[in-house]
Structure 1
Amino acid sequence: MPSDCIPFSDTNYFSSLICDYLEEKPELHSFYNRYPKLENFKNQIIEKQASFSDENRAIVVKALQEQYKNSILSDVTVKHIAFLEQSNTFTVVTGHQLNLFTGPLYFLYKIISTINLTKILKEKYPEYNFVPIYWMATEDHDFDEINYFNLFGKKIQWSHKDGGAVGDFDTKGLDKVFEVFSSEIGLGQNAERLKLLFKEAYITHGNLAAATRYLANELFGAYGLVIIDGDDKALKRLLIPFVEKELVSKVSYTTVLPKAKQLEAAGYKVQVNPREINLFYLDKGLRERIIEKEGRYYVNETDISWSEKELINHLYEMPERFSPNVMMRPLYQEVILPNLCYIGGGGELAYWMELKDYFEAVEIPFPMLLLRNSVLIQKAKQTKKIEKLNVSDRELFLKQHELINLKVRQISDIDINFDTQRKHLKEQFQAMYEVAKQTDVTFYNAVKAQETKQLKGIDTLEKRLLKAQRYKLSDHVKRLTILQNELFPNQSLQERNTNFSEMYLEYGEDLIPILINCLNPLQGEFVILKQ
């Protein structure tokens, strides 16, 4: 499948922080450890190897074996889990919410970036093993962010009244979602495969975590993906010392807040602001913030409270009740995994860059940060339309009104550019300015005001001519608009809206192999795949 690439900065969909990071601008060097170049991984391996214990490895492997006990695993995944107990094995991690039926397309791109990076690292450093990890965000509670996916421009949504961590949500009601999905997806071999995949994931599994594990394993198990659920007592026990520091010393707040202010002072938007305590309390149907007032600790919006000593005792007895928020979750991941690199989207990397001083304070190596692959997939009919309309890759990413105006100017049989008239007008007024210099300031200002008025008049006439030509060329404009709306649903990136099932209908079981073969996570550019 042929592909083209354009710089992320040329898409106009990525923040200045991410574009500057990709350019390795010096003002960002203090916010990350090592830039993700292939040659930099050697020192990251040495640093992580020196800090990660064999005891932690054994605990992680045992926890994974327990989590997978009801799953059918590929030989590669089984081998990868076994590798994790060896001191020469390291991970590459991506994380994602438990979006219904994967949510938007970039779920696939995150995991494929992760799988492909482990392959590249193995080729470069054959003496080590590298395992791709998908961290399921089972402890999140933002249900409204994950309870739907978009299909052919329609929102397929699941209604559920439960509370607490979404991973524990039972799958009641998803049979009705399946009926809606089945009616929309149509007929054919690929459609039937999608229906079976949805049914096996969400109808036969009891909760959302198990359903998501099944789905991700079905899609990526053949590539050795290892799926981990952090909502695990044995794994949480490894985090106890760091949770205790968080509760008593508020270490994340005192280190992240100054770093966030540094980022802001450098001219960048702060993605997440830390709280004084960056932990939730987790129980059946409950996930609420832990807060401290006058030396006593409370679970927000409840009657639950402890003294400091009582809370620490409770932590050692039931560590599974303590849930890291977005500020502490990265630390939890790096404590329990021999990880080298985190792969995420622009928003994720933005909040990771607030955390470097926090990691240094608790003496955990800060991982390398890699922007996931981003992709625009053009189906065969769309590629033909693009060629017929003579639209370039970069032009596709323009705002719609900019694209339409540009193409109307290009194809119009009238020159819709009054720059010559503007130049002539300015030359005429230049002579008047020479006269004005010999009089008083009021006359000079009058000449300037008249020039401004007439230049604005030319702008207005140009806009009216452009509007008239847009009307005259309305058929071309309409085809251009429909095409861009197909490729950029809701005037946003395809990968942030479209569900993978639309592409699966087109490519079937070849979809993931195509993406695996075409995406290089170290390429650092936006990929356009054309059929």
Structure 2
Amino acid sequence: MNVAPEPLPGGSALARDYIDRYESVGHLYGGDFRNEESRRKRAEWLDGNEDQRANRAEVASVLRLYNERHNSSPEVMASLALLEQPGTLVITGGQQSGLFTGPLFVVYKAMTTILAAREAAARLGRPVVPLFWIAGEDHDWDEVNHTYVLNRTGEIAKIKLDKPEGPRASVSGITVEEQSWQQVTELLEGMLQESEFKPQIMEFIRTSSDAACSMSDAFAKLMGSLFGKFGLILLDSADPSLRRLERPFFKALIERNDELEAAYKDTAANIIAAGYDLQADVTPGNANLFYIHEGARLLLHKSEGRFSDRKGEVSFSREELLLILDEHPERFSNNVLTRPLMQDYILPVLATVLGQGEMAYWAIPRDAFHVVGGQMPLILPRMSFTVIEGTLHKHMDKYGLSFADVRSGLEGKRKEWLAAQDELELGRRFEEAKEAFSAMYEPLIEQLGNIQAGLLKLGNNNKEKILDQIAFLQGKAMDAMEKQNEAALRQWERIELSLMPAGKLQERVYNIMYYLNRYGLSWLDELMTIPADYSGTHRIIYM
């Protein structure tokens, strides 16, 4: 396995500037993780504000119960024992739970989190543990209920888990029946090609879903099976036990909601003034807080001193909300802009691992951290890869293709290559035939028009029909050429489907199970030996 950098254009302008020109956007963030002084200052700030966060022993206790159910390896228990001790810091990464772990970038985010914690511990000379924040309180089922693999015939295949009937609940709150797990597992088994590792992979997957009540449970079990041995702690943001510890911070979010709203709006205005697009909505009156009502997750808005959802199903005064919070903290849930603040209250976060889209919207809460007495953690770009299997690499060399060629689309190059296989120069000769025919026939048609006007129109129609017939034969000849080169064209198609499925980066589409089925569970151990890189540079893994 060889690894080579492959810089990619595009992405959020704000995220690119964070990565490449931090000095130009530093006022929108809390410091640069890659800078030793930033790490040291952040660690000192966390040490000095220990009493402003949730009690770490209580947090560790809640996380221990959760990880004992889903992620009980000795290394995770050791990480939790460290977390319980004053002075231990945390590197976090997170994502919504996804079917069979979701797309590859989720795995790469977990890898980055683990490697960054190792490096930070070594550089700071103190314990730093990795933690993966499962966004189980999110309710976008359609975003997480499917995944993609390359099937046995080398095509993109989608596997989807249908949503049970019920309200628009959080992903962790949606019960998935055993029969549904069996259906999607059988679909995956039928799509994966036979390999020496397949029985082990399928057993690994079935074990994760056998005792899973929800998508988040199954996700946690799979992530634990993959990364538990590296000491990765898992946290489900929808865990009711965690909600009780979050109650004081939800109280602050309610009491200081107007100040928080003003902070979000001011920072958003600064981002726009600096020439960047907002990556998350900042709307007037948004409480940036969800309320769980009869199983449904409702976003609250403020109007005339009350907190209500858009449809008016619930409505509370500030005092009423605080009373409910005291009795039922499980009814409250963060949104995309308050989750970073809550994470900083629950954990001593040295840095958090984010994708480029996340890096851009994380700038919005910067001033909101100060409103609640916090400070934005350092931000670390997650590692990014494309896997090129050995056979595909040989085919790319054979046709003179680079990853940049594949990324920009192969249609033009494929046509050029196919034209080069035309030893009879059929394309040129057909065009010459059409030109020669037109040159001979058009003068004759003009002369016919002098005999009778109607013959001119008839002659032109006749000419077009003959040209159509020549073009028809040309098309058939080209089809025959393609059939003659069918095996080669399938190789071109496989390159594109593997590296840029549906025009997207491989890591944003395909699931890791295809690769574990090809190379075994030890493949992940190989990935973990790749040198860490926090520059945001995309890299190619040549198998």
TM bracket, shorter-chain basis: 0.7 to 0.9
CA distance in 2, matches of 1:273, 1:55: 29
CA distance in 2, matches of 1:390, 1:502: 26
Moved more, 329-338 or 206-215: 206-215
Moved more, 32-41 or 180-189: 180-189
Query: Structure 1 stretches of 5 or more lacking a match?
Result: 414-469
Task: Please tell me the residue identity of whatever aligns with 2:260.
Answer: S
Aligned pairs for 1:202-281 (under 5 A) are 202-248=209-255, 249-275=257-283, 276-281=286-291
Match of 1:165 in 2: 170
Match of 1:18 in 2: 15
Matched, 1:516 2:521: no
The C-alpha deviation readout for 1:59-102, integer Å capped at 9, x for no partner, is: 21111122234346222111100111112211000111111111
Secondary structure, in 3 states, of the residue corresponding to 2:219? helix
Q: Using a 3 Å threshold, how does the CA distance of structure 1 residues 357 and 37 change in structure 2: closer, same or farther?
A: same
Moved more, 477-486 or 339-348: 477-486
Shift of 1:238: 4.3
Matched, 1:156 2:167: no
Aligned 8 A contact 2:59 2:242 in 1: yes
The C-alpha deviation readout for 1:101-137, integer Å capped at 9, x for no partner, is: 11111110000000011111222222x1111101011
1:191 to 189, 198, 203: 198
Task: Please tell me the residue identity of whatever aligns with 2:157.
Answer: K
Q: Which runs of 4+ in 1 moved over 6 A?
A: 405-413, 470-474
Shift of 1:208: 2.4
Secondary structure, in 3 states, of the residue corresponding to 2:302? strand
Q: Which has the larger radius of gyration?
A: 2
% identity of equivalent residues: 27
Q: Using a 3 Å threshold, how does the CA distance of structure 1 residues 299 and 36 change in structure 2: closer, same or farther?
A: same
Match of 1:385 in 2: 395
Shift of 1:335: 0.6
CA distance in 1, matches of 2:364, 2:265: 8
Matched, 1:330 2:330: no
Aligned 8 A contact 1:27 1:266 in 2: no
CA distance in 1, matches of 2:299, 2:340: 18
Query: Structure 2 stretches of 5 or more lacking a match?
Result: 151-155, 424-477
CA distance in 1, matches of 2:14, 2:409: 21
CA distance in 1, matches of 2:492, 2:97: 35
Match of 1:174 in 2: 181
Q: Using a 3 Å threshold, how does the CA distance of structure 1 residues 472 and 259 change in structure 2: closer, same or farther?
A: farther
CA distance in 2, matches of 1:392, 1:410: 19
CA distance in 2, matches of 1:405, 1:48: 59
Match of 1:76 in 2: 75
Shift of 1:242: 3.9
Match of 1:146 in 2: 144
Aligned 8 A contact 1:238 1:335 in 2: no
Query: How high is the TM-score relative to the length of structure 1?
Result: 0.82
Shift of 1:312: 1.2
Aligned pairs for 1:399-438 (under 5 A) are 399-401=409-411
Match of 1:86 in 2: 85
CA distance in 2, matches of 1:203, 1:390: 47
Matched, 1:201 2:208: yes
1:488 to 500, 517, 521: 500
CA distance in 2, matches of 1:520, 1:143: 32
CA distance in 2, matches of 1:42, 1:412: 65
Q: Using a 3 Å threshold, how does the CA distance of structure 1 residues 96 and 284 change in structure 2: closer, same or farther?
A: farther
Task: Please tell me the residue identity of whatever aligns with 1:156.
Answer: I
Aligned 8 A contact 1:16 1:268 in 2: yes
Q: Using a 3 Å threshold, how does the CA distance of structure 1 residues 403 and 4 change in structure 2: closer, same or farther?
A: farther
Q: Using a 3 Å threshold, how does the CA distance of structure 1 residues 392 and 346 change in structure 2: closer, same or farther?
A: same
Aligned 8 A contact 2:70 2:217 in 1: no
CA distance in 1, matches of 2:362, 2:422: 48
Query: How high is the TM-score relative to the length of structure 2?
Result: 0.81
Q: Using a 3 Å threshold, how does the CA distance of structure 1 residues 516 and 206 change in structure 2: closer, same or farther?
A: same
Aligned 8 A contact 1:404 1:480 in 2: yes
Aligned 8 A contact 2:249 2:345 in 1: no
The C-alpha deviation readout for 1:153-196, integer Å capped at 9, x for no partner, is: 11100112233111122121222212222222243332222221
Match of 1:449 in 2: none
Aligned pairs for 1:260-409 (under 5 A) are 260-275=268-283, 276-283=286-293, 285-301=295-311, 303-401=313-411
The C-alpha deviation readout for 1:10-42, integer Å capped at 9, x for no partner, is: x23423222222112433111111112151312
CA distance in 2, matches of 1:307, 1:335: 25
Aligned 8 A contact 2:12 2:360 in 1: no
Match of 1:526 in 2: 538
CA distance in 2, matches of 1:171, 1:180: 16
CA distance in 2, matches of 1:48, 1:403: 55
Q: Using a 3 Å threshold, how does the CA distance of structure 1 residues 478 and 64 change in structure 2: closer, same or farther?
A: closer
Aligned 8 A contact 2:19 2:535 in 1: no
Match of 1:44 in 2: 42
Aligned 8 A contact 2:54 2:347 in 1: no
Let me know the Cα RMSD of the aligned residues: 2.7
